[in-house]
Each structure stands twice: as C-alpha cells, then as structure tokens.
Structure 1
Amino acid sequence: MRRALLAGVITAAQHEALLWGLGEPPLPRSVAGHPDAESADTGDEEASRLAHEAWLLAAEQLLRESAEYSVEELRRRARQVRDSLDESGAQERFDQRFDARSLRTWRDAEGRHQGHIVFDDEMGAWVDSILAAGLRPRRGGPRFMTDEERAASQDLIEDPRTNDQLAYDLLMGVLRAGSLASAEDVFGARQPGVRLVAVKDLIGPRDAFGRLTTVAHLEDGGDVLPGSMIDRALCDTGTVTVTVDSCGNPLDVGREQRLFTSKQRIALAIRDGGCRWRGCTVPASYCEAHHIDHWCDDGGRTDVDRGILLCRFHHLLLHNQGWRIRRDHNSEFMLHPPAGRSNPPVPLPSGSAIRWAWDPPPPLMRKHWRAA
C-alpha cells in the first residue's frame, strides 16, 4: 500500500482508509523478533503464516478495486475484510461498539428538543432497514410493484416533506405504534428486517466463552456481525439454506416463472452483494433482477446463473441505451457497450462480502488461499 501511495496509484486519503480498515498485517510467528516465534508449534506457525498471506491477498484485492470506490466505501470494504479475517477480533470490536451505544436528549436555547444517538451495529442496521423500507421510492427502489404499491410510492414521491422530515416522522411513527401496530400500518407492503449471511460450513467452532467464532455479513452492505449474533438469530428466527456451486450459483427454477422468486432474490443478493455495475454501491434490497437473456427475444430463463442484480438507474441505462450483459456458461459477467462503440467488454465482479467462497484469486497469486 505504501508503494501504491508513492507511485500515485492511490491517494493519501485512500491509503489512510485502507490502513484504518485493514489494520496492521499479522506477522508470521516464524519471523525473527516475533514474541511467540520460539514457543510456536508447527500448527500455530502455519496458521500464522496463512493469516499473514490472507491479509496480503486482501490488501492486493482492495488496491485493485480502489479506483472504483469512494474513500468511505473503500474504508468500509477494508473493515469488512478485516473482520472476516480476524473473527475473534470482530467480536471484540463489536463489543466495544455495543458498549459505546448511547442516547442523549436536551433542549437548546430556543427550547427545541434535540437528541444524539450512537447505535450499536445491529440496531444501526435495523434503523437503516426501517428508513429504507419507508423511503425506498424516494431513493430509487425497484419498479416492479402491484398497483396498490405503485400508488403508495407515487404518493411518497410527491410528498412535500424533505427526506429528513420523512425519516423523522417515520421513526416517530415507529415509536408511537410500538408493538401494537401491524407492519403494514407503519411500513406499507415491505416490512423492514435484517438478514444475516454466513457460510454454513464454518458455523461450529466456539471460543472459551461458548460463542461462535465465525462471522456473518449483513445482506445489505456486507458489514460484519460476530458469531454471538448468529447464535441469537438461530434461536428466534428462521433460516434459509442456499446451496451454491463453485461459481456461487444455486439451481435454477426453469422457465415457468417470468420474475425471480423471493428465494432466488436471496441467492442473487448473496452472490452479487448489490448492483454489479462498475463502481455502483447500491445495496441488494434496492436492486432489480435483470435477465441477461431477454425473456422474449432470446428465450431467457429465470435462472440465477442467467440473472444479475442492478440498481434501478443502471437497469434502465442498460435497456435504454443498448448495453448488454453476457456470460459464457459460468464465466464472469461481461458488460458489452452499445452497437457502434469500440469500448472493450468490461467484467462485472461481485461485490459480495463472502465472494471468496466461490471466487478464488488468480492461480499465480497464492497457494492455499481458501485455507487462509
């Protein structure tokens, strides 16, 4: 990262964001001068070396992606990678942020009530979900709705209140309604919620306190929550198992259905992480599922391996300006320019926080990457 900064590949702000997000690289225990170098057994030494290589892989990947993301998004992705690599540390950092939660209210000189909230990770995600459910039509949510939903969305778009005022009124409505209201009374058709995504095969090992040592990622955004949150979710909510192949694709449902099912949308969210247009950071819940093979013209199937998540803006841009996304079997999705343009096709990599599970680095980069 230092070399990239000196070479002008990344800016000082990007370098700071990456370093803050990733933290210092773990040194292999075999390195001379490491405090545990002499006492480490062969297994510990190998695990330490793999952790070091995994950190280097992450840094290289983030450097390659740095031009596509804002400084804030780069910092967020680096933080997600660090929490994925350092699962015990993820629990500690979650605990620190949980302990820092607070709500403070006061009156200013004009007698107005004001407040300041510091959220813990889970409740912050819940509030984001509540606001997204209420304000999605203003923020470019999916267009495919029932007539009733479309009318409600149009009313919200034409509402004279600002987004900040709508957010305030929505949260006050939640506080007033409490547990006595039905979801439709407050949120309309789409109920808010937080979905955690975890690699099932990694759920099992526990630390000395009995907590799961693996981590989960939020479906929207990919931020990390520790194993203790998985345990709690398994106690009081249901689970959906998504079995994928080596490219992240689950089985298809054939051509009987025109639109992707809710379970397919979950699979697309896990595989894509959000809009896959280059540089776009719109989360999965704001995206639409695009058939890369046109339903009518190309006999397109409603299969996950032939679908891709795009935000409303880029979905419309693709259809209105003649862009095409193509894929050869299970190879990478490629964005092709409109006819008449000489631009080469551009790959559309997944933004999923767990894409390492099916998207290994180039073979010449590292060995034993999955173990790391």
Structure 2
Amino acid sequence: MTAIASALRSAVDALAAVPRDIAPYRALDDVELLDLTRLAADEVRLAQLHVSLLAGEIARRSAPELGHAGLAQRTGHRTPEEMVRVTTVTRVADARTAVRVGSSVGAETPTPLGEAVLSGRVSVAVADAVRTGLGRPGGGVTESVLDEAAGVLLERVSGLDADRAAREARAVRDELDLDGIAEREQARREQRSFRLGKRADGMGYAHWVLDPETFAVVSDVYDRITSPRRNEPRLQSEGEHEGEGEHGGQGSAHPAFDDDRTPEQRASDTIAELLRQGVAADTSQLLGDGPIGVRMIVAAHTLQERRGRGWIEGHPDAISVETVERHACTAGTITLTVDGHPDNAGQPLNLGRERRLFSRAQRLALAARDGGCRWPDCERPPSWCEAHHIEHWHRDRGKTDIAVGLLLCRHHHLLAHNNGWEIERAGPSYRLIPPDQRADAIDMPSRSPALHDALSA
C-alpha cells in the first residue's frame, strides 16, 4: 500500500508541476508541439491503466456471489461500475471500460492482451475496443480462440485509435466465424429504435438508433446534403477531366453559394422537407441527381459460392450474403473481380453490368477498390471523394484510367495538388510521397474490405 500510494502521489505531484501558463506552449515550434502532445497522451494512458487496475480489484471484491457483502453494495453502490464512476468522477462508459479491462488484466490466467496492457504496448481504450470487437464465445469460437486472436491483433492495432482498433477486431471475428455474420447482423438490427422528445424551451429532438443497413441509407442522404462538394459549381458534363470541369469548370452557379445555413441546419431543413413531400419530393433539387440507395460490394467468389460476406459501400462491418442478394433484387450490387496479373493485382476488372470506360463506372470501380479517401488516417466516405490522377492530366499526360486513379476527399485532393505531395503505384499498392523528399514514403492502404476479400480468394 505504501509503495503504490507513494508512487501515485509522486506522479500526481510531478504532473502538478508541469507549467500551465499558455505562453510557453505558444512558443513551441510544430515538432515540439507534437512531441509534447504525444508525451501528454502517454500520461493519460498510464493514468487510465492505474485506474483500470484499481477498478478490476473493486470488481473482484464486488463479485455477484458476494451479494450485499461485496465492496460496491456494502458502500451503497449497486454495481462496481457505479462505484468506479462515483469515485473517479467520470462517465459511465469510462467506468465500464476500466472495470472490463481491469478484470481482464487481473484474471487468474494471463492473456496476451492483458500482458500488452500491463506492459504499455496498448492503451486501456484500445484493449477494450479489441475485446469488445471480438465479442463473446459462440458459433464454434471459444474463449481460447478469442484470446489467441486478440494476441494476433496486437500488431495490427499498434498505433491505431480505439475506434479503428474495434473495426479491426470485428473484421477478425467475422473471419473466425463467417456463419455467424447473419446472426450478428440480426442482433444489431434488433437494437434499432426511434423516439421523439420535447425540451423545456419548446424545441424538439429525435433519438434515432439505426441498424447498419438503415444507417447506410440515411448517411447517404446526409452526406449528399452536407458534402463539401455540394458547394461546387454544377458540372457542364460528366466526362470532363481535371481542370476542365470537376476542378475548374465554368459551370453555372450552385444555389448553395447563397446559402448561409450551417451544414447541420441545412440537413435538418432538407430532411424535414423530404418527410413533408414524401415520394413526391423533387430529390434532384434537395440531394442532387441519382436515386437514394446503397451499394453492396462483394467479391465475385462469395456470390458464386453463396458463402462469406459483403459490405455496404463506405461502411466497415460485414453483412451476410443473404442481405447482399436481397439488395441485388432492388438496388443492384457491385461484384468485385480483380486482375491477377502481378502488375495489376487488386485493380477492378469487372463491375457487374457497369462498363469500365464510362466515367460513372470508373468512379464506381474506385469506390469499390478504395472504400473512401485513401489518404492515411482519413475516413471520408466515397460520396465525399474526388477522383485524383496520380499521373497528372496535364503535367504527366496521364490517362483517365482506374489503375492511375485514386479517391481523395476534397481536402486531401487540394493538399496533394497545392503542397507538392505525390503518389506512386507499385502493382496493387499506392504510396504517398511527402514534399520533403528526405521523408519516408507512406503506405496508402485500401479501406475496402471487399477488395481484401477478393484478393484473398
């Protein structure tokens, strides 16, 4: 007790001694600022680890079988999570995370994930994301299999935030239990809900929990309303190249130029108008051209074998083959067939009934291959992206070809052109070359799980 208390008090005293005057922070150069931010993040991670260790012990002393004699109930708390929340003055979600990770770390049988937390290799938040994403035993997946998968995931989640680590973990669970995808999909669907409420000031609010399939439809509408591309001039024609239309054309002014509403206000007004007008709404004025719907992306071998998984374009969680087939009846699917030649491996060759040479088909191909903006750590969906020629149209006399095209969101597209970033292709891979030629190239992995599935066949 004395050693732990002394060490924690020393840590608190050391943190209290860190300068808080804003002037020294403003005097930092960019490199120093980022270095100190990383150090501060290390402080947070260590503090969360200490809280989790203590929370795990609180949970052990408050085990359900102890009843009212347990620590939490004996001190007037219903659960150990509530006791941790009150004691640490944090959110319920933070307390639950601390208890889950602390209980796992303090388990009688050590696990690779628990050891990684104790050693500082992964944070409490990432460890919880991995464990939650992998889910519980079932469908032939035992606890030992999940522990082994968590150990394998440690390398994949190194350097990732908790949200991305959770997506990686869910993807691994799908790989371990393909037959359980439909069951997990149904479990998420059953959590959907919608309710309206009225605030004391007369305003109203809606609380809408959407299953992934519904969320894909609603987010497609929302992205169309709020996308920065909505504020660009209308295109003269769909097939124009860089500098002639999408990036510099003399199109007619878009009504959004005179719109002083925030994106959130515009979304509220447009969705309300859609509800008022229903099926009679002129959606081309509200949302732009094209029917509302979602695209299902699936590897060709999956549909042929009728076993495996597909994805909703722009969303990372797998869906069942049955859902893909159901949508094929109404909205169509993108069936991804990839080139096996070493120089072109991973390039889409066949996209259902879409013909490759037309610009719309090429954008569909890029969306299926890239899954959104390919800039490292960017998560903009395909609907927010533009097609970038990695061999510039004018400078390099580049071709408008899928293999030398890449999806970039508007921000990163401008950054690439204006700040001297280059992109090079090596077979199926793309690498980002910083303006400073001395810096290392950065991998630009695809965000499309369907592409990874197609390449692994």
TM-score by length of 2: 0.62
Contact 1:196 1:218 in 2 (8 A): yes
Select which of 335, 351, 357 maps to 2:432.
335
Q: Say what the alpha-carbon RMSD is for the aligned residues.
A: 3.4
1:138, distance to aligned residue in structure 2 (A)? 7.4
1:152 aligns with 2:252: no
Alpha-carbon distance in 2 for matches of 1:202, 1:137: 35
Summarize the Cα distance change of 1:27–1:222 in structure 2 as closer, same or farther, 3 Å threshold. Answer: closer
Q: Deviations over 1:133-182 (max 9, x none)?
A: 11112799999277667523433xxx333333222212111111111123
Tell me if 1:167 matches 2:267: yes
Q: Which amino acid aligns with 1:180?
A: A
Deviation for aligned residue 1:25: 7.5
Counterpart AA for 1:332: S
Deviates more, 1:11-20 or 1:159-168: 159-168
* 317 and 275 in structure 1: CA distance in 2 versus 1, 3 angstrom threshold: same
Instruction: Rate the CA distance shift 1:113–1:322 in 2: closer, same or farther, 3 A.
Output: closer
The answer to whether the Cα contact below 8 Å between 1:295 and 1:301 also exists between their aligned partners in 2 is yes
Match of 2:368 in 1: 270
1:355 aligns to what? 451
1:317 aligns with 2:415: yes
Which of the pair has more CA radius of gyration?
2
- Measure the CA separation in 1 of the matches of 2:129 and 2:232: 29
Q: Counterpart of 1:115?
A: 206
- Structure 1 CA distance for aligned equivalents of residues 377 and 212 of structure 2: 25
Q: Which moved more, 1:181-190 or 1:277-286?
A: 181-190
Determine if contact 2:346/2:428 at 8 Å carries over to the other structure: no
Q: Distance in 2 between matches of 1:313 and 1:180?
A: 35
1:364 is aligned to: none
2:135 alignment partner in structure 1: 23
Contact 2:298 2:335 in 1 (8 A): no
Partner amino acid, structure 2, of 1:16: D
SS of residue matched to 2:131 = helix
After TM superposition, list the pairs within 5 Å mapping 1:272-311 onto structure 2: 272-311=370-409
Match in the other structure for 2:119: 7
Given the alignment, which residue of 283, 300, 312 partners 1:218?
A: 312
Give the count of matched residue pairs.
Answer: 322
CA gap of 1:331–1:217, structure 2 versus 1, over 3 A, is closer
Q: Would the alpha carbon gap of residues 342 and 95 (structure 1) be closer, same or farther in structure 2, given more than 3 Å must change?
A: same
Instruction: Provide closer, same or farther for how the CA distance between residues 197 and 290 of structure 1 changes in structure 2, counting only shifts above 3 A.
Output: same
Q: In 2, Cα distance between the equivalents of 1:66 and 1:260? A: 40
Q: What amino acid does structure 2 have at the position aligned with 1:14?
A: V
Q: Indicate the structure whose relative CO is greater, using CA pairs within 8 Å and at least 6 residues apart.
A: 1
Q: TM-score with structure 1 length normalisation?
A: 0.74
Cα 1:297–1:344 change in 2 (3 A) is same
* Partner SS for 1:90: helix
Spell out, residue by residue over 1:193-249, the C-alpha distance to the aligned partner (whole angstroms, 9 max, x if none): 2111111211256xxxxxx65322111133322233212112223344443113211
- 1:24 Cα offset (Å): 5.3
Q: Read off the aligned partner of 1:87 and give its amino acid letter.
A: L
Measured after TM superposition, the shift of residue 107 of structure 1 is: 3.4
CA distance in 2 between counterparts of 1:12 and 1:311 reads 32
Partner residue of 1:74 out of 140, 155, 165: 165
1:199 maps to what in 2?
Answer: 299
Q: Distance in 2 between matches of 1:62 and 1:190?
A: 42
Q: Which residue of 1 aligns with 2:179?
A: 88
Letter in 1 for 2:130: L
Q: In 2, Cα distance between the equivalents of 1:105 and 1:195? A: 30
Q: How does 1:107-146 map to 2 (within 5 A)?
A: 107-137=198-228, 144=246
Greater helix percent: which structure? 2
For the 8 Å contact 1:334–1:345, the answer to whether it is kept is yes
SS in 1 for 2:429: coil
SS at match of 1:327: strand
Conserved? CA contact 1:129–1:193, under 8 Å: yes
Q: Is the 8 A contact 2:230 2:256 kept in 1?
A: no
Give the deviation of 1:85 after TM superposition. 4.2
Partner residue of 2:288 out of 177, 188, 202: 188
Identity, % of aligned positions:
37
* CA distance in 2: counterparts of 1:100 and 1:71, whole angstroms: 22
Distance 1:121 1:334 in 2: 31
Q: CA deviation at 1:74?
A: 2.6
Contact 1:276 1:349 in 2 (8 A): yes
Shift of 1:271: 1.5
User: Cα gap change, 1:281/1:149 in structure 2, threshold over 3 Å: closer, same or farther?
Assistant: farther
| Alpha-carbon distance between aligned partners in 2 of 1:250 and 1:110, rounded to the nearest angstrom | 54
| 1:105 corresponds to | 196
Select which of 232, 252, 261 maps to 2:359: 261
Match of 1:281, SS state, is coil
Q: Which amino acid aligns with 1:19?
A: R
Shifted more, 299-308 versus 107-116: the winner is 107-116
CA distance in 2 between partners of 1:250 and 1:149 (Å): 34
Matched-pair contact (CA < 8 Å) for 2:295–2:334:
no
Report SS of the residue matched to 2:228.
coil
Structure 1: runs of 5 or more not aligned = 35-51, 206-211, 253-258, 361-369
Q: Which amino acid aligns with 2:452?
A: W
